[in-house]
Amino acid sequence: MEPSDAREPIDAERGRQLSLFRPLGYQRNSCGYCKSKDGSASYYASSLSVRPAHYEELVNRGWRRSGTLYYKQNLRRSCCPHYTMRLEVSAYKPRRDQRKAINRWNKFILGPEYIRRVAYLCPKTREEKKSRKCNFDLLSAVHGVEYSNVKRPVDPKTKRPLEPAHRFEVNIEGDAVSQAKFDLFLKYQTKIHKEDVSKWQTKDFKRFLCSGLKRTEPNATDGQRRLGSWHQCYRLDGKLIAVAVLDMMPNGVSSVYIFYDPDYEHWEFGKLSAMREIALAVEDGYQYYYMGYYIHSCQKMRYKGSFRPQYILDPESQTWDPLDGALTKALDAKPYVSLSQDRQCADTTKSSASADTETETETEAEAEINDVEVSLFDLHMPGVLTVDEVKRLNLENWALLVHGSFLHMDDLVGWEKMRVDDPQSVKGIIAELAATLGPVVVRNSAVVLFD
Ligand SMILES: [Zn+2]
């Protein structure tokens, strides 16, 4: 064991840089997609304090958050596997239906009268008209109709500036709760998700959509990008009509949720907001846009695949594969796909013909396991460290937050004697958390226990 003075001291400054995680453990739950009673299995942790860089690391290991709840699904043991997907924003080309949605919305904002008068007052040159017809410019399509960018020449007829039909404004604000946001959210859940909203109280809404990652304001002088959780608020004639909840990470923008006024449903806010968020990523220099999980069996999710080029996280190797014909075909054939594993299998099959039957027997034996009762390490959950890998992390040095003070794991009474693979022991619980979080986050976090 390393002497205790060899490890990093956890003073207040170091403490502020750490993300905090409370382990909740592995659980089976009902599936929201195929409605099976306990079809989905995930590892859960909760937190009120996660740094955007650490969250990015987690997202790239298959995690996602729902409010203050963080989870990583066991794709091999779930009926509707949740694949992490991301779009490379610099290569994005909007499809025809996407361009149409934004053009339609822009026309509505400006209105026929404004469009007619402005064409008369500030006529476009033939070249301008031609280039507009041939090239779709995402950034100008997204921003052109925001009120501050709308041309308002003085109309000689009225002697007043020409006004668009609607005043449309979009602002990024911190993810604080407000009455207007909560009212809009209730209206959305009732009409769009047909939910009985009597169960939603302000505090639940706050936990779900207003308690995200630690925020950092953008800073032009040191090139610091906006980080953390934000609300992109859409206002029409001064009234809040949509809120997109966004997690900004060092290299990517992650769409958390969008809720909008159901009266505007036919404008396709799903498409409009995705294009606006891609534009934001392009402008501010984030490389990726994460649209949440991709669930191949869910028809409603397929639209996400129409934003291209889209990549899917391989659950085993945690590398990215293009969501193209080959992957789609594999997903059509079976719910759980890991192309890296398929390639490995193909290699072994070449050298030994019996490999296939071996894997099958193994899968059958595993299916018998009651996965909530055994240690996570016996489940071979994809994208999770093995016992040996966890042992190499030197868990005794991991920070522990107990009643507001930082300790190290081996300050716990009996730590030495506990077993890593005993899911009932504190060490076992901590080891499962470490295995799912991965080495980078373990080094930069503290575990919250007994609070
Ligand atoms: Zn399902």
Mean pLDDT of 31-40: 91
Which of 58-62, 236-240, 278-282, 341-345 has the weakest average pLDDT? 341-345
Instruction: Calculate how far, in angstroms, residue 368's C-alpha sits from the geometric centre of ligand 1.
Output: 19
Three-class SS state of 126: helix
State mean pLDDT over 145-164.
94
Report how far ligand 1's centroid is from the alpha carbon of 83 (Å): 13
First to last CA, the chain: 28
- In the reported structure, the alpha carbon of residue 441 is separated from the centroid of ligand 1 by a whole-number distance in angstroms of 29
**Residue where a domain terminates, one of 272, 291, 310:** 291
421 and 387 Cβ atoms separated by less than 8 Å: yes
296 CA → ligand 1 middle, Å: 11
CA 335 – ligand 1 centroid, Å: 10
Q: What is the mean pLDDT of residues 168-172?
A: 97
270 CA distance to ligand 1 middle (Å): 23
Domain boundary among 256, 291, 326: 291
The three-class DSSP label of residue 271 is helix
Instruction: Determine how β-strand 168-174 pairs with β-strand 405-408.
Output: unpaired
CA of 79 to the centre of ligand 1 (A): 4
Backbone CA torsion sign across 188, 189, 192, 194:
negative
Same domain, 193 and 235: yes
- pLDDT at residue 415 in the model: 94
Band the pLDDT of 36: cuts 50, 70, 90: very high
75 Cα–ligand 1 center, Å: 11
Same domain flag for 175 and 271: yes
The residue-averaged pLDDT of 63-82 equals: 96
> Do the domain assignments include residue 196?
yes
Q: Does a structural domain hold residue 233?
A: yes
10 CA → ligand 1 middle, Å: 43
Q: Is 214 part of any domain?
A: yes
| Within a domain: 273 | yes
Can you state the percent helix, strand and coil of the chain, rounding each to 5?
A: 40, 20, 35
Supply the mean pLDDT for the chain. Answer: 91
What is the DSSP secondary structure assignment for residue 369, as one 8-state letter?
S
Q: Please say which residue of 291, 308, 335 terminates a domain.
A: 291
Contact yes or no for 220/153 (Cβ under 8 A): no
Going from the Cα of 281 to the center of ligand 1, the distance in angstroms, rounded, reads 32
Is the domain of 223 the same as that of 255? yes
Q: 298: CA distance to ligand 1 center in Å?
A: 9
pLDDT in tens, 321-365: 999 989 999 999 999 999 999 988 888 877 665 545 555 555 655
Angle between helices 339-351 and 325-333 (to 10 degrees): 80
Cα gap 398→30, rounded to integer Å: 33
Q: Which domain holds residue 272?
A: 170-291
265 and 193 fall within a common domain = yes
The 8-class DSSP code of residue 346 comes to: H
Q: Do 150 and 179 have their domain in common?
A: no
CA 119 to centroid of ligand 1, rounded, Å:
53
Kindly state the tokens that stand for 119: 């064409």
Query: Going edge to edge, which strands form the sheet with 40-46?
Result: 63-66, 69-73, 40-46, 19-29, 445-448, 399-402, 405-408
> Would you place residue 366 in the very low, low, confident or very high pLDDT band (cuts 50, 70, 90)?
low
Looking at the fold, whether 134 and 181 belong to one and the same domain comes out as: no
Peptide bond into 23 cis (omega under 30): no
pLDDT at 13 over 70: yes
Taking the centre of ligand 1 as the mean of its atom positions, its distance from the CA of residue 331, in whole angstroms, is: 14
The model's pLDDT over 263-320, given as tens digits with 9 standing for 90+, comes to 999 999 999 999 999 999 999 999 999 999 999 988 888 889 899 999 999 999 999 9
Phi, psi of 8, rounded to the nearest 5 degrees: -65, 130
Residue 111 lies in a domain: yes
Whether 66 is in a domain gets the answer no
Q: How far is CA 419 from CA 70, 129, 202, 402, 429, in A?
A: 25, 72, 42, 21, 10
* Cβ-based neighbour number of residue 156 at 10 Å: 7
Same domain? 120 vs 227: no
Return the pLDDT at 303.
83
Q: What's the gap in Å between 447 CA and the centre of ligand 1? A: 31
Question: β-pairing, 239-248 with 40-46?
Answer: unpaired
CA of 387 from ligand 1 middle (Å) equals 29
Strands (E) in 167-237, as ranges, are 168-174, 228-236
My answer on whether 286 and 217 are in the same domain is yes
Structure token digits, residue 346: 């193909």
Q: Quick one: pLDDT at residue 199?
A: 86
Distance 31 CA to ligand 1 centre (A): 5
What does the pLDDT average to over 258-262? 97
Q: What 3-state DSSP class applies to 313?
A: strand
* Three-class SS state of 135: coil
The pLDDT of 367-388, averaged and rounded, is 85
Q: Which residues are near ligand 1, the ion (C-beta closer than 5 Å)?
A: 31, 33-34, 39, 79-80
Does one domain contain both 175 and 259? yes
Residue 192 and residue 232 in one domain: yes
Distance 37 CA to ligand 1 centre (A): 9
Q: Are strands 252-260 and 288-290 parallel, antiparallel or unpaired?
A: parallel
Q: What's the 295 CA to ligand 1 centre distance in angstroms?
A: 9
The residues, any chain, with a CB within 8 Å of residue 239's CB and separated by 6 or more, are none
Measured in angstroms, how far is the CA atom of residue 81 from the centroid of ligand 1?
8
CA of 299 to the centre of ligand 1 (A): 13
How many distinct structural domains can be found in the chain?
A: 2
Least confident of 108-112, 159-163, 356-360, 433-437: 356-360
How far does the centroid of ligand 1 lie from the alpha carbon of residue 78, in Å?
7
Alpha carbon of 36 to ligand 1 centroid (Å): 6
Q: How far is the centre of ligand 1, averaged over its atoms, from the C-alpha of 204 (Å)?
A: 25
**Comparison of pLDDT for 393 and 367, the residue scoring more:** 393
User: Average pLDDT for residues 219-229, to the nearest whole number?
Assistant: 89
Distance 179 CA to ligand 1 centre (A): 34
* Ligand 1 centre distance from Cα of residue 40 (Å): 6
Kindly state whether residues 120 and 232 are assigned to the same domain. Answer: no
| CA dist., res. 245 & res. 451, Å (int) | 29
pLDDT band of residue 2 (cuts 50, 70, 90) is: very low
* Residue 43 CA to ligand 1 centre (angstroms): 16
From the CA of 338, how far away is ligand 1's center (Å)?
18
Q: What CATH number corresponds to the domain at position 227?
A: 3.40.630
User: What was the pLDDT predicted at 353?
Assistant: 55
Question: What's the mean pLDDT in 57-67?
Answer: 97
* pLDDT given for residue 17 in this prediction: 93
> What integer pLDDT is reported at residue 368 of this predicted model?
65
What is the rounded average pLDDT of the residues 195-218?
92
Least confident of 63-72, 193-202, 284-293, 312-321: 193-202
Same-domain check for residues 175 and 265 = yes
Q: Is residue 5 part of a domain?
A: no
Residue 1's pLDDT band (cuts 50, 70, 90): very low
Model pLDDT, residue 127? 83
**Whole-number Å distance between alpha carbons of 151 and 331:** 49
- What is the whole-number distance in angstroms between the Cα of residue 73 and the centre of ligand 1? 12
Parallel, antiparallel or unpaired: strands 160-161 and 168-174:
unpaired
240 lies in some domain: yes
